Structure 1
Amino acid sequence: MSRIRLLPDQLVNQIAAGEVVERPASVVKELVENSLDSGAARIQLDLDAGGRNRIQVRDDGAGMGRDELALALQRHATSKIASLHDLERVASLGFRGEALPSIASVSRLSLTSREAAADAGWCLHCDGGKPDGEVAPAAHPVGTTVEVRDLFYNTPARRRFLRTDRTEFGHVQELLRKLAMARFDVALQFRHNQRQVLDLPAAQDQSAREQRLARLLGSNFVEQALYLEREATDLRLTGWIGLPTASRGQPDMQYLFVNGRAVRDRSAAHAVRRAYQDVLFKERHPTYVLYLQVDPGQVDVNVHPAKSEVRFRDGRLIYDFVFRTVSEALAGVRPQAVAEDSPAVPSAVEHDWPRQAPVRDPAPLPRASGLALGEPDARYAPATLPPRPVSAGRQPESNGHAVPRTDSPVPALGYALAQIHGVYILAENPAGLVLVDMHAAHERIVYERMKQQYAAQGVQVQNLLTPVSLAVSQAEADLAEAQCESFAAVGLEVDRSGPETLVVRGLPALLRGADAAQLVRDVLADILAEGDSRRLTERLNYILATMACHGSVRANRQLELAEMNALLRDMENTPNAGQCNHGRPTWTQLDMQALDRLFLRGQ
């Protein structure tokens, strides 16, 4: 082995390029982020051959002076941090000062820039990281243009790893989508092989932001999403979450931005997934675009070379904040919310539900109607209901179900008309026709009521006739001993009987018959991996959901009109009433336009 020596600067830059520059999209990311950090209001991106042959980024940001051009191509030269304090509170997208020299070392790069106070711009060319001549005057507007040609021309092994132009273009397109969602205030223009791909004006208000989202993710996302906004001490979460009915087969429409930076965070993603667990159909994935604002001192963005991951100082606080905000927003999606936010109920056939749900604590569930928890076989009892108005010119029915005219506002789900084959309730509201799956709807009502009662009464413990002993590691035994109060809070009675032995003496009553040893092992594994355990809560909710399913009204049950109306009123006041416990929709709306289309009226 040869003696220790310093590596040449050129080789150091190329090694750094291996971390920073994976493909053309990596170059685009670094250059566009530099433009955003410079205060640009408009950014233009031009690509040739997927970025393999040419990448050009032009902005109208602050620009650079003559002396700064050469300095910008040196390693660890940056205007964004100057001290350890700055590094601990990074507010810019870039800060390491490695991007430009790394990119220049594996390409032919030209850098042209002009400051606002200067009469002209300056230009510097590099070939493989080496300056090709001196800094020269150049005609250029205020701002900066970086042109990268022949990426990886001097590292042919790296160039061979590039995919087809179409594939590389797709990676750039996805990156631009994230950047466009991160900075609504910046206009973006994107051309590929001289063809316009994107031309997004700055979006300064809510309507313009949703228009940009519709162009980037499709109009269906915006039409089937809720806008949420919540603020706490040093934390703020805003954005859009897709309705459960707008879920996807893959987690390919999930975007999280932390302080304006697109990142991946397993804990935050799990918090969102858990918020959807009661309302999402099996093997489906939610859609969302969420913006989390955190005190920069509470988040470390310097944990990944590409800055695509972050680490939170208090991860549990972030998890709970995201989970609570998303779950409460979803709980606010109920028929009653539709009536409050719009004069007519939108069509649930296209799942066009309200786009904004107020984040609020769920209202207490009604007790005046529906099945009592201990009476799963009881029928829906008639409830005191506001009378259904009779349309002008219509004579009251003679079957005893007619209700006299009233000036009371019509509820969101309207009033029942009939029952179809003992399965569906047919109702009328101001928008048109409402169809309700009575079993699915009642299943959700009973489930939410059971959860509320279970939370109020606490966890009932079932003592084991024969305590179960299990061998664990010393670390797991220490953890169980330290978390004994947390275990007791969820109905697990666990004692330590030796350095590596635990004894389970009690389980939650609802989980009687469960494998006690495996349950404790699972909970310990969760705490070690995530900092706490949600497995028990999930299992208890599963048991409650199963009980609710078996305790709700069954198909072919004939209901009286008053019983149907009682069910509709309960739905309007129940969190997550749009889906049953398995994530299936509970009701749908056919508005008058949809009905007219069915019968070709007006065509």
Structure 2
Amino acid sequence: MMIASPKISTNGRPVIRQLDEAAINRIAAGEVVERPASAVKELVENALDAGARRITVDYADGGKTLIRVTDDGCGMTGDDLPLALARHATSKIDGSDLLNIRSFGFRGEALPSLGAVGRLSITSRVAGGEGISLSVEGGRMGPVRPAALTGGTVVELRDLFYATPARLKFMRTDRAEAQAIAEVVRRLAMAEPNVGFTLRDVSGGGEGRVVFRADPESGDFFDALHGRLAQVLGADFAENAVPVDADREGLRLTGYAALPTYSRGSAVAQFLFVNGRPVLDRMLFGALRAAYMDVLSRDRHPAAVLNLTCDPERVDVNVHPAKSEVRFREPALARGLIVTAIRAALMGAGHRASTTVGAETLGAFRAEPLAPVAAPPRIYQMDRASQPALARSFRFQAPEAGTAPGFAEAPSARVEPAPTEPAPEGRPLGAARAQVHENYIIAQTEGGIVIVDQHAAHERLVYERLKAQRAEGRVPAQALLIPDIVQLSDLDAARLLELADDLADLGLVIEPFGAGAVAVRETPAILGQVDAAGLLRDILDDLADLGRSDRLRGRIDAVLSRMACHGSVRSGRQMRAEEMNALLREMEATPLSGQCNHGRPTYVELKLADIERLFGRR
């Protein structure tokens, strides 16, 4: 039985007809306003374009029944308001150059789209002018009326999607929509640290509940951004992130990248901006991942807030309805800047590790609370009268022959003799004092202790040494007795041969071998036996996905990492005091030594004050 196609009219030839303005606006709203968070994004961006210094966002029922954005921007006049609600009317561009875009908005679609699917009212006042108001409901615009307002603009959107009931069925729960709104405001707050943001949930009426607040930051860019990130992402991120500031050929990357030991289980703490615009661009996120490639394991994700600025004509922001994706004129340059800038910033951090590692260690030390039992008040030694005789007798002594085993006879740590010269407690990683369980070095610093995983630490040191040797010259290659002939498409073969010189520097030598074929003459010696066809196809996949390939370099780094693991100090090996101190000094001098090749911390630092709190001394 044949089923009629729903796309084909059964009444003969389909008739082409012009849609009315209301239908056009509702169709456009489906692209621009996907959910309440999309409406908040458009309205807050309009406020930022108007020069607002303080922005307040109120919402009710997840934004479904009310969204109100109040700002102290430049405002609009009575002549501006009707134009602002007309399609493709904007003050951001004049239409002569669609590449030189220096504002958040530029299409002139948001306000008319919102007015087509909800009940929209705008109240505004310019400096020295009168307050005015205009309402539009389901695409029908009312007259301009006088209104009371001290300055700026208030945009109120009620009953979103009431004019398109089918869209309401696709809304998520109030809580989920509210979380999406909060995420939008948080991202824009990070993009504009000098602007104050307040987000309130006014469900049920009244003043509502403040969900998020970020006061305007002062100072230079990095100080302001650091303060804003502490407000938005928390003090832990701000404390464990390093500043990034690099430029190359007119592109500049600024922001903060977290230490590898402050990694996350998902990509929830990655925020990227292009010319201050929040973006969700696959190429940029891939570059961020590549920058942390050899300091994080595959199941961990870096945390970063980065802004890439350039001439607006070098990036196209008009490639996605929500303006969340961009297209660079020189994508390889943008990607390379991100990778090199972050790696340089992380290397500049030296041996530093995340402070949260120490906090987690202290948390693991704390004993579970015991059930209360009736007991007499405890009297501590410091509360008793001085007992000099007892104090003089309390000494560690060598065990007498035949005594029962005890603490002094079976120590859990190898204690080295005190060095003859003053120990370097003033160094960042202190002076080695003991080795416990033949794997962990205990070092004393001026303000606490450091516990070092000797195998993980030495593994990173050896790995960095091997990479430095590789950087000094070409990667050694091994010639194949019989070249591998790999059949590819003409396009894929041409793309690989364009990179022949770069691949040769990594030990992979390829030559053309007829139409669509490539001959592999040499492969990196460090890789041993190689599946040449599989390697070339992996490289092509990377080129298609990211515009370039780090597959071969990543494979070589992985082999170097394995070599470092096998060539490092093994767990269970006893180390002399001079060896332990030499390891500490080399860690202090080696970048990225705060984590092993897999992103795990190589050492934990505990402050003396925290240790004393564990024992109730503070």
How big is the shift at 1:334?
A: 2.5
Say yes or no: does 1:26 pair with 2:38: yes
Structure 2 counterpart SS, 1:428: strand
Matched, 1:350 2:350: no
1:530 and 1:228 map into 2 onto residues whose CA distance is 22
Alignment map for 1:305-324 (pairs within 5 Å): 305-324=321-340
Q: Which residue of 2 aligns with 1:240?
A: 256
Task: Give the 3-state SS of the residue equivalent to 1:468 in structure 2.
Answer: strand
Find 2:421's aligned residue among 404, 408, 429. Answer: 404
Shift of 1:351: 8.1
- Pairing partner for 2:436 from 399, 403, 420: 420
> What corresponds to 1:203 in structure 2?
217
Are 2:550 and 1:534 equivalent residues in the alignment?
yes
Give the Cα separation in 1 of the matches to 2:95 and 2:136: 30
Question: Could you give the per-residue CA deviations for residues 472-512 of structure 1, whole angstroms, max 9, x where no partner exists?
Answer: 11112222333322222221122222112222121011112
1:162/1:41 Cα in 2 relative to 1: closer, same or farther (>3 Å)?
A: same
Structure 2 vs 1, CA of residues 464 and 96 (structure 1 numbering), >3 Å: closer, same or farther? same
Counterpart position of 2:122: 111
Conserved 8 A contact 2:319-2:326? yes
Q: Secondary structure at the match of 2:322?
A: coil
Partner of 2:71: 59
Q: What letter matches 1:136 in structure 2?
A: R
Give the aligned length: 546
Tell me the C-alpha RMSD between the 2 structures.
Answer: 2.0
What does residue 147 of structure 2 align with? 138
Q: Give yes or no for the alignment of 1:590 onto 2:606.
A: yes
Partner SS, residue 79 of structure 2: helix
Among 62, 85, 110, the residue aligned to 1:50: 62
> Is 1:125 equivalent to 2:135 in the alignment?
yes
**Shift of residue 44, structure 1, vs aligned partner:** 1.4
Distance 1:530 1:449 in 2: 29
Give CA deviations for 1:239-285 in whole Å, capped at 9, x if unaligned: 12122122111111110111111001212211111111211133011
2: CA distance, partners of 1:19 / 1:91:
22
Q: Residue 200 of structure 2 corresponds to which residue in structure 1? A: 191
What displacement does 1:209 show?
4.1
CA deviations over 1:92-115 (Å, ceiling 9, x no partner):
000000110010000111111111
Question: Which amino acid counterpart does residue 522 of structure 1 have in structure 2?
Answer: D
Name the structure 1 match of 2:392. Answer: none
CA distance in 2, matches of 1:115, 1:70: 15
Q: What residue in structure 1 maps to residue 21 of structure 2?
A: 9
2: distance between equivalents of 1:99 and 1:19? 10
- The structure-2 alpha-carbon separation of the partners of 1:331 and 1:70, relative to structure 1 and needing over 3 Å to count, comes to same
Identity among equivalent positions (%) equals 48
| Aligned-partner residue type, residue 41 of structure 1 | R
**What pairs up with 1:439-450 in 2 under 5 angstroms?**
439-450=455-466
Indicate the residue corresponding to 1:520 in structure 2: 536
Larger Rg: 2
Change (3 A) 1:346 1:501: closer
SS at match of 1:153: coil
Give 1:153's aligned residue. Answer: 162
TM-score, normalised on structure 2?
Answer: 0.85
The one-letter amino acid of 1:58's match is: T
Amino acid at match of 2:19: L
Question: Are positions 1:567 and 2:583 aligned together?
Answer: yes
Rounded to whole Å, the distance in 1 between the matches of 2:495 and 2:140 is: 57
2:179 to 170, 191, 205: 170
Mind listing any 5+ residue stretches in structure 2 that lack a counterpart? 1-12, 203-207, 362-414
2:83 equivalent in structure 1: 71
| Alpha-carbon contact 2:261-2:357 (below 8 Å) kept | no
Q: Which residue matches 1:90? A: 101
Mapping for residues 234-313 of structure 1, pairs under 5 Å: 234-313=250-329
Give the secondary-structure state (helix, strand or coil) at the position aligned to 2:153.
strand
CA distance in 2, matches of 1:470, 1:399: 60
Aligned mates of 1:58, 1:307 — CA distance in 2: 23
Cα distance between partner residues in 2 of 1:32 and 1:262: 13
CA distance, structure 1, for counterparts of residue 217 and residue 302 of structure 2: 25
Deviation at residue 411 of structure 1 after TM alignment: 1.7
TM-score by length of 1: 0.87
User: How far apart are the structure 2 equivalents of 1:346 and 1:579?
Assistant: 13
- Corresponding residue for residue 445 of structure 2: 429
8 Å CA contact 1:48, 1:55 repeated in 2: yes
The structural deviation recorded for 1:12 is 0.7
Counterpart CA distance in 2 for 1:198 and 1:581 is: 38
Paired letter, 1:20:
V
Give, in angstroms, the shift of residue 563 of structure 1.
1.0
Distance 1:541 1:586 in 2: 19
User: Is the CA contact 2:214–2:232 (under 8 Å) kept in the aligned structure 1?
Assistant: no
**What is aligned with 1:364?**
none
Q: In 1, Cα distance between the equivalents of 2:533 and 2:225?
A: 51
1:499 partnered with 2:515: yes
**8 Å Cα contact 2:125-2:150 kept in structure 1:** yes
The Cα of 1:347 is off from its aligned counterpart by 8.1
CA offsets, 1:67-105, max 9 Å, x none? 1111111100000100332x2111100000011001000
What is the aligned counterpart of 1:37 among 22, 31, 49?
Answer: 49
